[in-house]
């Protein structure tokens, strides 16, 4: 009985104290991920249903990523200038329309063009979501809030992966239309329930905001170091949705097999994200980032030895643990190193690291699988994970002690001094 009481207390402490606006944003995230289909099954749709090569599938996925690269920076600027809510609305409505269109186009050039538009639209919401969450949640609660949001993403992913695997065997078009509908529901939630969260601009804040441009972000060497390492980690994690389905398809496994194996990722995050976050919340972020990078690299490296759905699922368990540790730790670090008055642009640059990875990963995985075999791809993942781990270790060692303390405690670091955000 005492264990049940402790579990209830842990859940209560995890969800308490967060503002209502956060929970509406959380709900929008959950609904969006419950309808996820394109990002998970694009490679299988193109190779198995449409009969294209892995190289063409990689090219289309790369164009999808290129759209995300372009929209990341533009959406970051929009988030700062127009506001979080308008940016979210434009992004979600555009995503719904373009995803629905993707299900109907048949010409190879048209598929590539619409996939590019889907990448632009779907990625545009990320800087706004992260900035809004940082605006409405107290600094000391942000790691918890980011973990809960990531938990919602993966709860939706766990459900949608299993369902979409079977939907894909019936009709890929149905999957595209379901995602379009769910994304439009998210836009309705944002329109009806979420107020604008952008901090009110005083004359001083307005002047400081105008001084933060994309060039300012690029000259912030410390932050750009985090962005670069984030790119390496993202390059690894992308293989779960690009290299892994192609490799399993070529090995004779069905879309349902892949859906069941990769669904382990979402299920484990749903089960472990909250308790693991409580365990790591106030621990050394540098050490956590090093460990998670190594686990990610070698987790995918183990895929080279997989020959059954069960073993594939076991490798998914390893890199999922890395994801559970990495996601809230890295997101919290990015927010704390971003000035309040330039939060959208900084989040846009960070989002771009994942978008660039989504651009490069398909080209890399398609080329390597077609030319050398999947085993080489998994070996490359282990190497990249090692490099990222070493990079995080060096970067965090170079931070002054007061900044390390600020990062660990939830303070926001601005221009070298720890400062608690007023948001």
Q: In this predicted model, what pLDDT tens digit does every residue of 126-173 receive, in sequence order?
A: 888 888 888 888 877 777 888 888 888 877 776 776 777 777 777 788
Give the CA distances from residue 10 to residues 7, 88, 250, in Å, rounded to whole numbers and listed in that order.
5, 32, 44
- Domains in the chain: boundaries: 22-191+216-418
159: left (phi over 0), alpha (psi -120 to 50) or beta: alpha
Q: CA-CA distance, 415 to 403, in Å (whole number)?
A: 10
Mean pLDDT of 220-243: 89
Q: What is the pTM of this model?
A: 0.70
Per-residue pLDDT tens over the stretch 235-260: 999 898 888 888 888 778 887 888 88
pLDDT band at 204 (very low <50, low <70, confident <90, very high): low
**How much is the average pLDDT of 169-182?**
83
416: confidence class by pLDDT, cuts 50, 70, 90: very low
Which residue is listed with tokens 């009709």? 171
Residue of 393, 420, 407, 410 lying closest to 225 (CA atoms): 393
Q: What b-and-e string marks burial along 164-173, b requiring 16 or more CB atoms within 10 Å of the CB?
A: bbebbeeebe
Which residues make Cβ contacts (< 8 Å) with residue 210, sequence separation at least 6?
A: none
Angle at 59 between CA 57 and CA 63, to 5 degrees: 115
Helix (H, G, I), strand (E, B) or coil at 384: helix
- pLDDT for 414: 41
Distance CA 10, CA 264 (A): 24
- Please say if the pLDDT value at position 417 is more than 50: no
- 31 within 8 A of 182, measured Cβ to Cβ: yes
Residues 6+ apart with CB under 8 A from 377: 239, 243, 247, 364, 365, 368, 369
The pLDDT value recorded for residue 47 is 80
**Separation of alpha carbons 171 and 179, rounded Å:** 13
Evaluate whether 271 touches 287 at the Cβ level (below 8 Å): no
If you search the block for the tokens 């694009």, which residue do you land on? Answer: 42
Mapped onto helix, strand or coil, the DSSP state of residue 123 is helix
Q: Which CATH superfamily is domain 22-191+216-418 in?
A: MFS general substrate transporter like domains (1.20.1250.20)
Q: Are 208 and 66 in contact (CB under 8 A)?
A: no
Give the DSSP per-residue string, 31-61.
HHHHT--HHHHHHHIIIIIS---HHHHHHHH
Structure confidence at residue 316 (pLDDT): 93
* pLDDT tens-digit readout, 13-26: 667 778 888 888 88
Taking the CA of residue 28 as centre, how many other CA atoms within 13 Å lie in the half-sphere pointing to its CB? Answer: 28
Instruction: Answer yes or no: is pLDDT of 418 > 50.
Output: no
- Give the DSSP per-residue string, 145-200: HHHHHHHHHHHHHHHHHHHHHHHHHH-HHHHHHHHHHHHHHHHHHHHHHPPP-PPP
Q: In Å, what is the CA distance from 384 to each residue of 150, 236, 376?
A: 24, 7, 12
Above 50 in pLDDT, residue 415?
no
Q: Tell me the mean pLDDT in the region 199-226.
A: 69
Instruction: Report yes or no: 45 and 114 within 8 Å, Cβ to Cβ.
Output: no
Write out pLDDT tens, residues 257-282.
888 888 788 788 878 887 887 777 77
**Higher pLDDT among residues 66 and 315, named by residue:** 315
CA distance 95 to 121: 5
Q: DSSP letter string over 230-299?
A: HHHHHHHHGGGTTHHHHHHHHTT--HHHHHHHHHHHHHHHHHHHHHHHHHHTTS-HHHHHHHHHHHHHHH
Helix axes 401-409, 309-336, angle to 10 degrees: 120
| Alpha-carbon separation of residue 178 from 78, 104, 175, 262 (angstroms) | 28, 13, 5, 20
Residue 411 pLDDT level (bands cut at 50, 70, 90) = very low
CA distance 66 to 357: 9
User: Using CA atoms, how far apart are residues 324 and 301, in angstroms rounded to an integer?
Assistant: 18
| CA dist., res. 289 & res. 387, Å (int) | 12
Asked if 64 contacts 116 with a C-beta cutoff of 8 angstroms, the reply is yes
The SS3 assignment for 213 reads: coil
């Amino acid at each position: 009985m005492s264990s049940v009481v402790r579990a209830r207390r842990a859940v209560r402490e995890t969800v308490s104290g967060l503002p209502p606006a956060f929970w509406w944003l959380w709900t929008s995230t959950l609904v969006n991920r419950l309808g996820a289909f394109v990002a998970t099954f694009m490679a299988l749709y193109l190779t198995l249903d449409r009969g294209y090569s892995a190289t063409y599938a990689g090219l289309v996925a790369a164009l999808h990523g290129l759209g995300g690269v372009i929209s990341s920076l533009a959406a970051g600027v929009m988030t700062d200038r127009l506001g979080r809510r308008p940016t979210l609305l434009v992004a979600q409505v555009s995503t719904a329309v373009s995803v629905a269109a993707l299900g109907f186009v048949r010409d190879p050039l048209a598929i590539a063009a619409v996939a590019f538009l889907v990448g632009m639209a779907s990625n545009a919401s990320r800087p706004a979501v992260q900035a809004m969450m940082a605006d409405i949640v107290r600094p000391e609660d942000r790691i918890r809030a980011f973990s809960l949001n990531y938990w919602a993403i993966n709860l939706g992913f766990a459900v949608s992966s299993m369902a979409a695997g079977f939907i894909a065997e019936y009709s890929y078009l149905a999957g595209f239309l379901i995602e379009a509908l769910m994304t439009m529901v998210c836009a309705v939630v944002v329109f009806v329930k979420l107020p604008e969260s952008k901090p009110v601009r005083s004359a001083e804040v307005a002047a400081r905001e105008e001084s933060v441009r994309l060039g300012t972000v690029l000259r912030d060497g410390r932050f750009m170091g985090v962005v670069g390492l984030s790119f390496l980690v993202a390059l690894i994690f992308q293989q779960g949705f690009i290299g892994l389905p192609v490799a399993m398809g070529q090995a004779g496994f069905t879309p349902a097999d892949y859906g069941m194996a990769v669904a382990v990722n979402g299920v484990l995050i749903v089960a472990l994200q909250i308790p693991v976050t409580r365990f790591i919340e106030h621990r050394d972020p540098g050490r956590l980032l090093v460990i998670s990078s190594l686990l990610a690299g070698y987790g995918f490296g183990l895929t080279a030895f997989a020959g059954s759905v069960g073993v594939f699922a076991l490798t998914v368990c390893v890199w999922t643990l890395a994801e559970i540790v990495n996601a809230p730790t890295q997101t919290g670090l990015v927010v704390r190193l971003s000035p309040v008055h330039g939060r959208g642009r900084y989040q846009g640059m960070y989002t771009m690291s994942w978008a660039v990875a989504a651009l490069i990963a398909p080209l890399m995985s398609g080329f390597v699988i077609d030319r050398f075999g999947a085993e080489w791809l998994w070996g490359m993942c282990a190497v990249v994970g090692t490099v990222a781990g070493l990079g995080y270790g060096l970067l965090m060692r170079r931070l002054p002690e007061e900044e390390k303390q600020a990062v660990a405690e939830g303070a926001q670091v601005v221009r070298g001094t720890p400062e608690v955000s007023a948001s």
